[in-house]
Amino acid sequence: MDSNNRKWVIGASFFAGLMTAIALPTMSAATPETSTGGKNPLQGMTPVEASKGLELPVGSDDAAVKQGRYLVSLLGCASCHTEGALIGKPDPAKTLAGSSVGIAYSNPMVNAYPGAVYPPNLTPDDETGLGEWSLDEVVTLLRSGKTRHGRQTMAIMPWTSYAQLSESDAIAIASYLKSLEPIKNKVPRQVLPGNPAKTPLVHVGLYRSR
């Protein structure tokens, strides 16, 4: 498999803050060969386990910020939004600064090249993160899934669950993220289905036995 078009699979159960899924022991992602030739869909795949329980930056001593850090840890946001964490190789210098490892949002067992999104930078960097977002805009994203430009995010970020957050908890999360040291880290753009990704992907799904 071409190193520029590698796809990865997750082979363990985990909960990640912006992706709610239960991964069964066997995960798979299709390749052009498996999707057209009926071969073993696990051929050429690499099982990986996402990092969990990552240490988060402290932020300020403000009570809301402390509560926000607790909630971000509880929701496992860093398991997706930290460079390398999705494949079990987190970069502590880029905690919550986004990921160049993508998440497939269409079925790689059906599509040779699934669509992929990349967990964005949650630090307040002006160019690559939340630096230009207001506190209210971050809260709106958490509770409605809408970006500051009005675009609806995919349910890979489980905003339908986050919509149940209390106003104070959503504000606490936003306050914590805005309090972090900015980290410049530009993640790749979304890849549409049918187009090969240039970086690794992970896929999480539920499968029944035959």
Within a domain: residue 207? no
pLDDT for the residue numbered 32: 38
The pLDDT tens digits of the residues spanning 17-42 come to: 333 332 323 333 333 343 434 555 55
pLDDT for the residue numbered 141: 96
Domain count, the chain: 1
Within a domain: residue 13? yes
Within a domain: residue 208? no
Average pLDDT of 105-133?
91
Q: Is 59 a residue whose pLDDT tops 90?
A: no
> Within 13 Å, how many C-alpha atoms sit on residue 129's CB side?
26
Within a domain: residue 62? yes
Within a domain: residue 45? yes
Within a domain: residue 178? yes
Within a domain: residue 22? yes
Both structure tokens of 103: 């998440």
Percent pLDDT > 90 in the chain is: 56
Q: How confident is the model at residue 169 (pLDDT cuts 50, 70, 90)?
A: very high
pLDDT for the residue numbered 33: 40
* Per-position DSSP letters for 79-131, written without gaps between them: HHHSTTGGGT---GGGTTS--SSEEE-S-TTT-SS--EE-PPP-S--TTTSST
Percent pLDDT > 70 in the chain is: 77
Structural domain harbouring 168: 3-202
Within a domain: residue 100? yes
**Phi and psi at residue 177, in whole multiples of 5°?**
-60, -40
